[in-house]
Amino acid sequence: MAHDWHPSVMRSTSLISKSGPLADTLSGTLSSTISSTLAGSIEVIVGSMFSGKTEELLRLLKRAQFARQATQVFKPRIDSRYSVDHIASHNKNLMAAHVIEKAADIYQHLRADTRVVGIDEGQFFDQELVDVCSDLADRGLRVIVAGLDTNWRGKPFHPMPELMAVAEHVHKLHAVCVVCGAAASRTQRLRPSTQEILVGDDSSYEARCRECFDNSLGLVAELDLAMDEGITGTDAGTHLLVAHDCHKNIHTVHAHEL
Ligand SMILES: [Zn+2]
């Protein structure tokens, strides 16, 4: 039954519609089960790291299971934190999950009786996640997606903003700013890196509020460039102070070079 949804003829660039090629692959059982009487929807759970997004996703999925609604959970392969085939909150709450490469892979695993689809770490999926979630909701499924709404630079983390736009419900959660104790909406990177994503390295991040957030902490490339070019002005000095705050080794090395 798991292959009833396999989009063997799905075109990657086209929105999957009810009358599209995917519909042709649906079994009669599935088509009749997901009837127009079921109201599908998209719910998005967003916030910074440590805001409890996965915990909230698990809570909603468990509620659905108590209501005897069949659920399935998906996560991107990129997240290897704690367990490769479960979604896991920071307090080690677990739920079995399908690990997939891209959003459209959901169709390969989706069972005919599934009513609720949970997706964790939505920000790591491709942009097609928006179309896949919309298609599932159009077919009567309840789709719940958890993910970071901003990256370590404090900028929108696609495709979550687009998903929020088409969702029926958006739950915006907040962590606690480790600096001042206010509600935290940003994910602060603590050590410089040239990598856009430091997956599974929670010690490199902390939650901060807008006031305490400083996206220059992760900019190792600019710091190194300033040193290489012998820039000793205000900009380089500012970067040095920033590096000193959270990464003393780098401060020491580059101070010597200066
Ligand atoms: Zn703060």
C-alpha distances in angstroms, 222 versus 37, 96, 225, 247, 250? 56, 41, 5, 15, 13
Are residue 47 and residue 123 in the same domain, yes or no? yes
Closest CA to 144 of 118, 106, 111, 113: 118
Residue 190 domain-assigned (yes or no):
no
Residue 188 domain-assigned (yes or no):
no
Residue whose token pair is 């989706």: 110
Question: Ligand 1 centre from 200 Cα, in Å?
Answer: 24
Task: Dump pLDDT digits (tens) for 39-71.
Answer: 899 999 999 999 999 999 999 999 999 999 999
Helix (H, G, I), strand (E, B) or coil at 215: helix
State the pairing for strand pair 98-100/169-172: unpaired
Last residue of a domain, one of 121, 156, 174: 174
Burial (CB < 10 A; 0-12, 13-18, 19+), residue 147, is buried
> First vs last Cα of the chain: how many Å apart?
65
Question: Ligand 1 centre from 205 Cα, in Å?
Answer: 14
Predicted pLDDT at 47:
96
d(CA 209, CA 185) in angstroms, rounded, equals 5
Helix (H) / strand (E) element for 186: namely strand 186-189
Residue 136 domain-assigned (yes or no):
yes
What CATH number did the domain enclosing 153 receive? 3.40.50.300
Last residue of a domain, one of 140, 156, 174: 174
Closest CA to 145 of 122, 172, 111: 122
Q: Which amino acid is at 258?
A: L
Are residue 60 and residue 122 in the same domain, yes or no? yes
- What would you report as the CA-atom Rg of the chain, rounded to the nearest whole angstrom? 21
Predicted pLDDT at 194:
67
Residue 143 domain-assigned (yes or no):
yes
State the pairing for strand pair 183-184/175-176: antiparallel
**Could you give the residue ranges of the DSSP H alpha helices within the chain?**
21-25, 28-33, 53-66, 106-109, 129-138, 160-166, 220-228, 234-246, 248-257
C-alpha distances in angstroms, 127 versus 101, 102, 181? 13, 9, 34
Residue 228 domain-assigned (yes or no):
yes
To 5 degrees, how large is the angle CA 199–CA 186–CA 200? 10
Are residue 42 and residue 121 in the same domain, yes or no? yes
Are residue 119 and residue 229 in the same domain, yes or no? no
Are residue 18 and residue 128 in the same domain, yes or no? yes
Question: Ligand 1 centre from 170 Cα, in Å?
Answer: 24
The active-site residue out of 56, 121, 128, 168 is 121
Residue 130 domain-assigned (yes or no):
yes
Task: Dump pLDDT digits (tens) for 146-204.
Answer: 999 999 889 999 999 999 999 999 999 999 999 999 999 999 988 777 666 666 567 78
Residue 164 domain boundaries: 2-174
pTM > 0.85: no
Are residue 114 and residue 238 in the same domain, yes or no? no
Are residue 123 and residue 228 in the same domain, yes or no? no
d(CA 80, CA 176) in angstroms, rounded, equals 25
d(CA 87, CA 148) in angstroms, rounded, equals 15
Question: What does residue 110 show for φ and ψ, rounded to 5 degrees?
Answer: -70, 125
Question: Ligand 1 centre from 187 Cα, in Å?
Answer: 11
Helix (H, G, I), strand (E, B) or coil at 140: coil
Are residue 164 and residue 244 in the same domain, yes or no? no
Are residue 145 and residue 27 in the same domain, yes or no? yes
Question: Ligand 1 centre from 185 Cα, in Å?
Answer: 9
Q: Is the pLDDT of residue 108 over 90?
A: yes
Q: When comparing pLDDT for 179 and 38, which is higher?
A: 179
CB atoms within 10 A of CB 36: 8
Are residue 233 and residue 153 in the same domain, yes or no? no
Are residue 105 and residue 8 in the same domain, yes or no? yes
For the chain, the domain total comes to 2
Last residue of a domain, one of 146, 174, 202: 174
Q: Examine the residue annotation and report whether 121 is marked as an active-site residue of this protein.
A: yes
Question: Ligand 1 centre from 190 Cα, in Å?
Answer: 15
Residue 25 pLDDT level (bands cut at 50, 70, 90): very low
Are residue 247 and residue 158 in the same domain, yes or no? no
Residue 246 domain-assigned (yes or no):
yes
Residue 183 domain-assigned (yes or no):
no
